[in-house]
Amino acid sequence: GGQVCNLAWSRNCNELVSTHGYSLNQIVVWRYPSMSKVATLTGHTYRVLYLAMSPDGSTIVTGAGDETLRFWQVFPGPRSHHKSTGPGLLFPSSPGSVIR
């Protein structure tokens, strides 16, 4: 595994986000209380050092040792409309930024 650098709870659903350092350099979304992995987000090439959540709780921004910021839409907003797509949900967003 890799070191846990940050943790953040979703205000809108029973999930949390963890960011990790070497050797994983990734972001993981977890369902609470089962702690089952919902998604693994990759893209940073160095450890993910910083994590912040948008005011509406739908988007996170991560900063890493590779000197990049990445924006991820990981949670539904407080009044988000969604449609069922089977086992997961699809949240409206720009292409490439929805994780489920």
Show pLDDT as tens, one digit a residue, over the chain (100 residues). 689 999 999 988 999 999 999 999 999 999 999 999 999 999 999 999 999 999 999 999 999 999 999 999 999 887 655 444 444 443 443 434 555 5
**Predicted TM-score (pTM) of this structure:** 0.78
Residues 6+ apart with CB under 8 A from 82: 76, 89, 90, 91, 92
The answer to whether residue 97 is domain-embedded is: no
Cα–Cα distance between 30 and 35 in angstroms, integer? 5
Residue 67 lies in a domain: yes
Domain annotation covers residue 78: yes
Q: Flag whether 99 is in a domain.
A: no
Residue 55 located in a structural domain: yes
Q: Which domain holds residue 65?
A: 4-90
Helix/strand/coil for 97: coil
Produce one character per residue of 49-69: b if its CB has 16 or more CB atoms within 10 Å, e if not. Answer: eebebeeebbbbebbbeeeee
